[in-house]
Structure 1
Amino acid sequence: MTSFNWVGSQDDFVGQPDVLQLNHIVVGRYGGNSTAGQSKNEDGCLVWFSREEGWELAVVLDAHYSAESAGAVLELFGQEEVAIRRLLALPEVYDAFRGLEEKILDMFMSDEFLATCRKVKGETACLIAARKGRFVWWLSVGDCLLYLFHPELARMGQYQINQRQFYEWIGQVNTFAQEAPCYTIGTRELRKGENRLFLTTDGLVECPGAPFFDPVRIDQAFDGGVPAADAVHSILETIRQNGVRDSTTIITWDIKVTRDAAQPSDLHKR
């Protein structure tokens, strides 16, 4: 399976953490605790990849009021899957990411999609991350989180790639319907060795007791070579035991880079 998508209105996983292994990618879903008052799951996610072409695309969505806006975004991506896969298959990373950025912005600002958004109930945060070769590209609307875990970056206290932005959404209230759409976007180089990308909706960091507000705690869940599926299950079980009400969706995978990453020019003179 190289294509997977889900929205919480299909299966809510309220009170029951679920972990799914898609080849080298792990998807974790938890709808929150019914004992804390939760009765529905408005998250969504998407995973596409090609191991032969060396890329992955992941999307996490955190909607409110209903899951309709998350479903609308997933449907939009489904309509454009062939075109997006063709872009990510381009041999040059720069061309792939430039084409992907233009394509996704055109999708979100199309008259047809904007008309669809005006009809949905509620709106969604949306985080998109694509990895090709030794680089990751991302686009974020709203308050989902993207982390990059690597020992070199951890020594510098660097874990989070994007910054959460509140009051940004796609849906009935829609940043792409404004005079100037608001979103954040970027590209990062992965480091030599083992890198872990980790996308999550905000239920993980807003759990009572804040067990994973500090990304170091997320990183520690994978210590000792714990399989990623086991680590994600442990993370979801922890927030379940802490009585989290909000839903949490996680997508994570490892990338091994053999090429040296950028270093300061005077590194060997220090």
Structure 2
Amino acid sequence: MFKFSWIGSETHFVDLPHIQQYKNLSIGRFGGNSSAGQYKNEDGCIVWMNEEQNWEFVMILDAHNSAESAELVEETITKEEHNLTSIFNKPLSEAFLELDHHILHIFQNPLFLARCSEVQGETACLIVLRKDKYIWWFSVGDCILHLFHSELADMQQYQLNQRNFYEWIGNVNTFELDVPCYSTGRRELRKGMNQLFMTTDGLTECPHTTFDNPKDIMKVFDHSQSPHDSVLQLLKEIEAKGVRDSTTIVSWTVDIDQNASEPSNK
């Protein structure tokens, strides 16, 4: 099992695009340009991959007003590794349903909420589990999840989650509201090669680029270069365009050999 975790307050990658590769999965980090005024990185991520059980679990974080909220969420999820991986390894019919309940249990825990009230700032949080030919996600805030597949692209479908602003975990906390606000979803992957792409918003809000359009991100991966080089190309371009905000990208491919749903009259 591959395990990776990182918080930008530990290594900020300002002025330094960096790619970490594990088999078909790329982790890209860039802290922004010091020439644009950047001096810190408040992103974070966790990646767990179990090839034997055929799943990947990824969380990305985009904090502001300090990295303390990202540090708290990363620490909390890491401590839940045993409970979470036990859920991931259950049959599909049970795993996603239990995951819904358990993630809510974690974020609504009174002890966790008390710690959130003590941190400086708050974080967006996007969590994704891919198991077999299905993907599940849980989104608080404005991080982005794309799914690139030729059949979906033909229908102009790229983005899975909806970005939601004014929604965080931390000192200002959606789970302190009378009605906690977040989004979650599930999707069947298509037969063939699926490219999953998660990013914080430094990439999509970089000036003088069009990466707010997922079609233009997909074009980078459609070239014959490796996924590692594609992620590096994205980071190099926003570096050249003078981006200030930090960017964290996690992208990986999943080759599905099972048929996906089709209309009954096809």
Task: Give TM-score scaled by structure 2 length.
Answer: 0.98
- Give, in whole Å, the separation in 2 of the partners of 1:139 and 1:182: 11
Where do 1:51-62 residues align within 5 Å? Answer: 51-62=51-62
Counterpart in the other structure of 1:43: 43
SS at match of 2:239: helix
Cα contact 1:136–1:190 (8 A) shared by 2: yes
Question: 1:10-67, CA deviations, whole angstroms, 9 ceiling, x for partnerless residues?
Answer: 0000011000012321100000000000010000000011000000000110000000
Per-residue deviation at 1:101?
Answer: 1.3
Q: Does residue 258 of structure 2 align to residue 233 of structure 1?
A: no
Question: 1:167-220, CA deviations, whole angstroms, 9 ceiling, x for partnerless residues?
Answer: 000000000111110000000000000001000000110001133111111111
Q: Does residue 13 of structure 2 align to residue 13 of structure 1?
A: yes
Counterpart in the other structure of 1:218: 217
Once superposed, which parts of structure 1, at least 4 consecutive aligned residues long, lie more than 2 Å away?
none
Where do 1:142-221 residues align within 5 Å? Answer: 142-221=141-220
Q: Does residue 133 of structure 2 align to residue 95 of structure 1?
A: no
Q: CA-atom RMSD, angstroms?
A: 0.8
Identity score, percent:
51
- Give, in whole Å, the separation in 1 of the partners of 2:253 and 2:174: 32
SS at match of 2:117: helix
What 5-or-longer segments of structure 2 have no aligned partner? Answer: none
* Matched letter for residue 50 of structure 1: N
* Matched letter for residue 192 of structure 2: G
* Matched letter for residue 6 of structure 1: W
Question: 1:211-268, CA deviations, whole angstroms, 9 ceiling, x for partnerless residues?
Answer: 311111111111233211110000000000000000000000000111110010011x
What 5-or-longer segments of structure 1 have no aligned partner? Answer: none
Task: Give TM-score scaled by structure 1 length.
Answer: 0.97
- Give, in whole Å, the separation in 1 of the partners of 2:204 and 2:264: 37
- Give, in whole Å, the separation in 2 of the partners of 1:211 and 1:266: 37
Q: Does residue 67 of structure 2 align to residue 67 of structure 1?
A: yes
Counterpart in the other structure of 1:136: 135
Aligned pair count reads: 266
